[in-house]
């Protein structure tokens, strides 16, 4: 799977399961350790972040949500 597909899968999982521990773990690691919940704004910020993140970080987030 290529990078774009992994990013899409990560975002889809988090959009479909915003209250899961996996979603919260990815968002906290990528955006803010103190994040309490995933919102539409969080998802938008995450999308921007993921497009600039290193490949190994994308792979780690993909593993978390897989």
| Mean pLDDT in order along the chain per 10 residues (66 residues) | 96 97 96 92 97 97 97
Domain assignment of residue 11, given as a range: 3-65
What is the number of domains present in the chain? 1
**Residue 47's pLDDT is what?**
97
Please tell me the pTM assigned to this model: 0.93
CA distances from 30 to 10, 49, 65 (A): 12, 7, 14
The structure tokens listed for 8 are: 């899409």
**Residue 37's pLDDT is what?**
94
What angle do the packed helices 21-30 and 55-65 form, to 10 degrees? 160
The structure tokens listed for 4 are: 């774009």
């Amino acid at each position: 799977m290529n990078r774009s597909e992994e990013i899409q899968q990560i975002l889809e999982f988090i959009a479909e399961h915003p209250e899961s521990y996996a979603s919260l773990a990815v968002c906290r690691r990528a955006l803010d350790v103190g994040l309490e919940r995933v919102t539409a704004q969080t998802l938008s910020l995450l999308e921007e972040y993921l497009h600039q993140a290193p490949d190994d970080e994308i792979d780690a987030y993909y593993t978390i949500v897989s």
